[in-house]
Amino acid sequence: MKLFFLISALLSIFTANVSAQNMQMKYQDLPLSKMQKQNREIASMAAKEISKSLPQKIDKFTTLQSIKNKNTTLIYTFVINDPAKSDDAIIQQDHSRMQKVVVGGVCRTSKRFLQAGINISYLYLSAKSKKVLFKFDITKEKCHYPAPRQ
């Protein structure tokens, strides 16, 4: 959980720096094709920067193994190693709790990315079988942000 907040803080700082240095006009003034290109570049730079400190242990059972981008989506890959539980037990017992915590946390800490059209995906793999245990795809639509003031 600590790393989650650290990564989110780094993403926020990184986004602010990139925005201040590279944007000479307001984001909403850019044509859609330029916004998409810019988002791909931001996602790629963020993935490269965060990858420098990986792999990183998150907690007793979880390691952030990699982060990469696919177009405008940042894909975080975690490995879960819980010797006391089978893959099926992890899926059944932990999915709902993990989804609520992950989606809520990403919505709070990565708001700027999400509102700019950069999506985030959390992929959890089993250390034992390499099987996908969970996958949470987070977009701004899943976060239910209040409408901007006018």
Mean model confidence pLDDT for the chain: 82
CB neighbour list of residue 120: distance below 8 Å, 6 or more residues apart: 73, 74, 76, 106, 110, 113, 114, 137, 138
Q: Is the pLDDT of residue 4 over 60?
A: no
Is 39 in contact with 116 (CB distance < 8 Å)?
yes
> Residue range 125-143: average pLDDT?
95
Residue-wise pLDDT for 69-85, tens only, equals 998 899 999 999 999 99
**Which position has the higher pLDDT, 106 or 144?**
106
Residue-wise pLDDT for 20-50, tens only, equals 444 444 445 567 778 778 888 888 888 898 8
Fold of 2-142: GMP Synthetase; Chain A, domain 3 (3.30.300)
pLDDT attached to residue 82: 94
Q: What is the pTM of this model?
A: 0.75
